[in-house]
């Protein structure tokens, strides 16, 4: 059973929410960050870029403390205000392509440890530790882990009823998305939501493996340092955004490699021929239409690569994944890419981007070859998580991507 509980969020005042909430930091260019810091005094970017106030680059523990200071200033100025009652928060976004709706809540670290919250990616220890230290210093979290659960008629009904009422927030962002947030704090509804989640045997991390792991590390450390630990302290939970499986959108990540690892074009194609049926499609744009089919752009031409299934042995759910097949049969043995996370010879482009970006980067000479594939399905991800396996890095790009500063969880 999943322990998904309401909490007292710290959140922007209604008149400033559109100015406060920001996109994930990594989505901004340097110029966009600078513009926001110069022209929007309420942007959450001021909190996570505290050195701007002093016109100085700051890192490490000094930066963590200043992040906390900026956050406290936002509270002192009542840009941020804490709710008086625990609540769930229904958050809906409407873009030109997609509508997303889910529930912001607090999720148990015990569920993470006990595999009720299931993972499909490896995490890097030093990143876990760094973010744990950050959380310990600042005392809050504002980037929800994206968790998904099987569709529930009960939750759908409650959500639909609440969304008939006036939202607490309704604002547009500069990318033309429309954002709504409803506060659900009446005891009957909150108990119904809590009880329904308790009936769910497992939920899955869609995005936020490092954030989940870091929150678990923080809870473990806090428990060891608290002789009066009860299990109800805020550090026993972390901020999450619960969204039904049917409402997720999955994209593939295209792979770009800077060189052919010393191989000539003909030699590379000949070695590929052992595992793939290869068809040169010339300059005609090609995108795979079936599982185990890949696209390749090389030297001004598109190629289709069809896996020779008579040669390849499917042994488990991992061996059936296209990102794994590409890694184990092409990237590693032929192109010498053994570390998909850290090798600078490989780069990734999410499939939601311009489909011709791979061609452009190869034609410009920045990369020698690009590969594409179909997106994974969430059923494939669940099979990996249920089996305790992990996918190759950048196997899938999952949306929605959530804004920072909309709801803050303190511990």
* Alpha helix (H) residue ranges in 165-260: 187-198, 209-224
> How does pLDDT run across 204-243, given as a tens digit for each residue?
999 999 999 999 999 999 999 999 999 999 999 999 999 9
Domain count, the chain: 2
Please name the residues in contact with 361: beta carbons below 8 A apart, sequence gap of 6 or more: 256, 367, 370
What three-state secondary structure class fits 178?
strand
Q: Determine the pLDDT at residue 27.
A: 83
Q: Indicate if 25 and 53 belong to the same structural domain.
A: yes
Q: Are 137 and 61 in contact, with CB atoms under 8 Å apart?
A: yes
Q: Are 322 and 373 in contact, with CB atoms under 8 Å apart?
A: yes
Q: Indicate if 86 and 103 belong to the same structural domain.
A: yes
Q: Indicate if 195 and 294 belong to the same structural domain.
A: no
Q: Are 8 and 85 in contact, with CB atoms under 8 Å apart?
A: yes
348, 354, 360, 362 alpha-carbon torsion, rounded to 10°: 30
Residue 228 structural domain: 4-249+403-410
Residue whose structure tokens are 């509508």: 99
Q: Indicate if 101 and 41 belong to the same structural domain.
A: yes
Q: Indicate if 141 and 19 belong to the same structural domain.
A: yes
Q: Indicate if 229 and 297 belong to the same structural domain.
A: no
Residue 231: inside a domain, yes or no?
A: yes
Q: Indicate if 233 and 259 belong to the same structural domain.
A: no
Summarize the confidence of residues 172-200 as an average pLDDT. 96
Residue 156 phi, psi dihedral angles, 5° rounding: -60, -40
> How does pLDDT run across 7-41, given as a tens digit for each residue?
999 999 999 999 999 988 888 888 999 999 999 99
- What integer best gives the mean pLDDT of the chain? 94
Q: Determine the pLDDT at residue 125.
A: 86
**Residue 108 belongs to what H/E stretch?**
strand 99-108
Q: Indicate if 298 and 177 belong to the same structural domain.
A: no
Q: Indicate if 204 and 89 belong to the same structural domain.
A: yes
Residue 381: inside a domain, yes or no?
A: no
Q: In angstroms, rounded to a whole number, what is the distance separating the alpha carbons of residues 166 and 181?
A: 9
119: pLDDT strictly greater than 80? yes
pTM of the model: 0.91
Q: Indicate if 205 and 227 belong to the same structural domain.
A: yes
Residue whose structure tokens are 């994974």: 376
Q: Indicate if 131 and 275 belong to the same structural domain.
A: no
């Amino acid at each position: 059973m999943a322990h998904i509980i309401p909490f007292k969020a710290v959140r922007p005042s209604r008149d400033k929410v559109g100015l406060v909430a920001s996109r994930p930091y990594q989505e901004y260019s340097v110029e966009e960050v600078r513009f926001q810091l110069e022209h929007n005094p309420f942007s959450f970017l001021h909190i996570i870029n505290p050195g701007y106030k002093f016109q100085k680059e700051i890192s490490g523990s000094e930066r963590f403390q200043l992040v906390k200071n900026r956050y406290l200033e936002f509270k002192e100025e009542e840009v941020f205000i804490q709710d008086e009652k625990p609540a769930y928060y229904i958050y809906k976004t409407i873009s030109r392509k997609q509508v997303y709706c889910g529930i912001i809540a607090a999720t148990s670290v015990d569920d993470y440890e006990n595999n009720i919250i299931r993972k499909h990616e490896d995490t890097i220890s030093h990143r876990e530790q760094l973010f744990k230290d950050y959380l310990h210093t600042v005392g809050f979290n504002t980037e929800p882990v994206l968790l998904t659960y099987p569709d529930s008629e009960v939750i759908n009904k409650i959500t639909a009823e609440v969304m008939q009422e006036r939202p607490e927030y309704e604002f547009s962002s500069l990318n033309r998305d429309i954002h709504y947030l409803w506060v659900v704090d009446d005891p009957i509804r909150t108990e119904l939501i809590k009880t329904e989640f308790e009936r769910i045997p497992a939920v899955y991390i869609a995005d936020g493996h490092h954030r989940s792991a870091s929150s678990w590390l923080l809870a473990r450390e806090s428990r060891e340092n608290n002789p009066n630990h009860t299990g109800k302290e805020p550090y026993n939970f972390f901020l999450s955004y619960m969204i039904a499986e049917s409402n997720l959108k999955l994209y593939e990540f295209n792979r770009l490699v800077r060189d052919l690892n010393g191989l000539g074009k003909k030699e590379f194609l000949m070695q590929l021929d052992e595992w793939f049926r290869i068809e040169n499609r010339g300059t005609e744009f090609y995108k795979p239409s079936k599982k185990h089919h890949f696209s390749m752009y090389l030297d001004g031409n598109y190629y289709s690569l069809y896996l020779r299934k008579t040669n390849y042995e499917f042994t488990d759910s991992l061996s059936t994944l296209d990102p794994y097949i590409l890694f184990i049969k092409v990237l590693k043995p032929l192109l010498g890419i053994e570390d998909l996370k850290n090798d600078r010879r490989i780069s990734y482009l999410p499939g939601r981007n311009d489909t011709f970006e791979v061609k452009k980067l190869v034609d410009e000479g920045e990369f020698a070859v690009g590969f594409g594939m179909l997106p994974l399905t969430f059923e494939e991800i669940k099979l990996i998580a249920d089996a305790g396996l992990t996918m190759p890095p950048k196997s899938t790009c999952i949306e929605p991507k959530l804004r920072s500063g909309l709801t803050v969880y303190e511990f």
